[in-house]
């Protein structure tokens, strides 16, 4: 799953703190494999959040589960725009 977000000016520190909170919780969720938070090299207000899951069903169960909205609310408060994309990994390379 990929989330492209644009932060409110001055919200970076709060956003990073909120991401850490979500990160600590999500590592215990069944089916969650990994996640990344990436900041644009061209626009410091633009970020990408990725999360990899064993199956889409695991992601949707977490998304619709108890406490999800409350957990991510502090992150959402920092965001002025967002778009979500849902992809399935078809090929992978590793070094």
pLDDT of residue 55: 93
Entry pTM:
0.88
Over range 40-54, report the average pLDDT.
96
- The structural domains of the chain, ordered by start, are 2-85 (3.30.70.100)
Number of neighbouring beta carbons within 10 Å of residue 7:
21
> Sorting pLDDT into bands at 50, 70 and 90, what band is 88?
confident
CA proximity to 2, closest of 53, 45, 41: 53
19 φ, ψ (degrees, to nearest 5): -60, -40
């Amino acid at each position: 799953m990929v989330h492209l977000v644009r932060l409110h000016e001055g919200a970076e520190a709060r956003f990073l703190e909120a991401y850490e909170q979500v990160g600590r919780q999500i590592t215990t969720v069944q089916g969650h494999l990994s996640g990344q938070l990436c900041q644009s090299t061209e626009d410091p207000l633009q970020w990408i959040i990725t999360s990899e899951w064993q199956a889409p069903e695991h992601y949707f169960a977490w998304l619709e589960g108890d406490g999800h909205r409350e957990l991510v609310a502090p992150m959402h408060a920092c965001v002025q725009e967002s778009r979500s994309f849902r992809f399935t990994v078809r090929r992978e390379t590793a070094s």
